[in-house]
Amino acid sequence: MSDKQIRNMEQFASVSGISRPTVSKYFNDPSSVRKSTRDRIEEALEQHDFRPNVYAMNQNRRLTKTIGIVVPYLADPFFGEIVRVIERRCIEAGFTPHLFSSHGEVKLENDILDGLRSLKPAGVLLAPLGRESDKSAIETFCKNVPTVLFDSNIDGMGEAFVGSDNHSFVLQTVEYLSRTGEPPSFFEMRNPANPNANKRRNAYLAMMERLSLEPHVIKIDGEGWAFEEIGRQGGLKLLAEKGLPTDTVLCSNDRLAIGLLSACYEAGVRVGRGEGCDLRVASHDDHPYAQFTCPPLTTAAHDYSAVSDQSVETVFRLIESGGRFDGRTETLFPARLIMRESA
């Protein structure tokens, strides 16, 4: 018997050398794993004298083997990439993922949550609309269903939040652009759909003040999630009116930047950091297509793997804990600056 006390399945998986999804699958249904693996797990159980939380497991068995995944806009490549990893991890652990997109609509988000509640899922990973969400509906849902929020945080709701540190995105891009050329203007939607945009604008203003530089916030018109077209139309208008206050533009997100690059091409404005270029453009997110734009887009990248892995690990721990943690946790992952030819 090992002297080391094992407190949960995550620790047990680590010390036994068996993957976390396989361990979870075994505890949900021992017959679902191969006999050789089952023997290894049972030997490790004996060696470490580990006994899972029977009460929590019995509670979970009253629920379905469903994990709900709710995002605001599945066509956004960020959510597509995150969900791809989450789905695979859920399936490996013996759960059935059910994926929903609210398409940026509050009523649809509420309807999805109502439908999920009736499914009695073991747990839910929710990326809410955020600023536009019906806070009372989400609060009620989180009280009744074990829920982990990701990407967009709503203070105090859900048992945990996992996301990216938006301040680290902007601090890196502003510092780099200001050090290598004219300080940037900030290019954003007047009424952004994603609440992370507000955090990025505030981080931009704070960093410009810290560097004793004059900030310029450019607000373009547009509603919804068609960011590329909104960026294109806003960019064309600015270029026609010669309304750019600097020759460096930092976009709130890559999809807006892709639209701005398109507008620059149409207007004959050369983008890049080389000789003969008229404008530098940088952004945030590292959209899957950012490396294929013309020129390739300088951006601060999400740690997609870390956010998705931590999100799914957190919901697994929540399920094992009977649907509640002792206290709400928040986990933020920093960005990584990727320098390409656009700035």
**Proportion of the chain above pLDDT 90, given as a percent:** 72
Average pLDDT, the chain: 90
pLDDT for the residue 54: 45
Q: How far apart are CA 320 and CA 313, in angstroms?
A: 11
The pLDDT, as a whole number, for residue 264 is 98
Tokens 């997100």, residue located: 253
What is the DSSP code (8-state) at residue 271?
A: B
At the topology level of CATH, where does 63-163+304-333 sit? Rossmann fold (3.40.50)
* Segment 291-329, tens digit of pLDDT: 999 999 999 999 999 999 999 999 999 998 889 999 999
Most confidently modeled of 30-39, 73-82, 107-116?
A: 107-116
Query: Is-cis flag, bond preceding 295, omega within 30?
Result: yes
| Share of residues in the chain with pLDDT > 70 (%) | 94
Q: In what order do the strands lie in the sheet with 217-220?
A: 217-220, 185-189, 248-251, 280-285, 298-301, 336-338
Structure tokens at 303: 């740690």
Question: What band does 14 get if pLDDT is binned at 50, 70 and 90?
Answer: confident
166-301, CATH topology level = Rossmann fold (3.40.50)
Predicted local confidence at residue 303, as pLDDT: 93
Task: Give residue limits of the domains in the chain.
Answer: 9-52, 63-163+304-333, 166-301
- Residue 192 makes CB contacts below 8 A (sequence gap 6+) with 198, 252
Q: How far apart are CA 318 and CA 123, in angstroms?
A: 8
Q: Give the predicted TM-score (pTM) of the model.
A: 0.79
Question: 3-state class of 182 per DSSP?
Answer: coil
The runs of H, that is alpha helices, within 134-253 are 135-144, 166-180, 196-210, 227-240
The whole-angstrom separation of Cα 6 and Cα 88 is 27
With a cut of 90, say whether residue 159 has pLDDT above it: yes
What torsion, rounded to 10 degrees, do the Cα atoms 74, 78, 81, 83 define?
-50
Burial class (CB in 10 A: 0-12, 13-18, 19+), 17: exposed
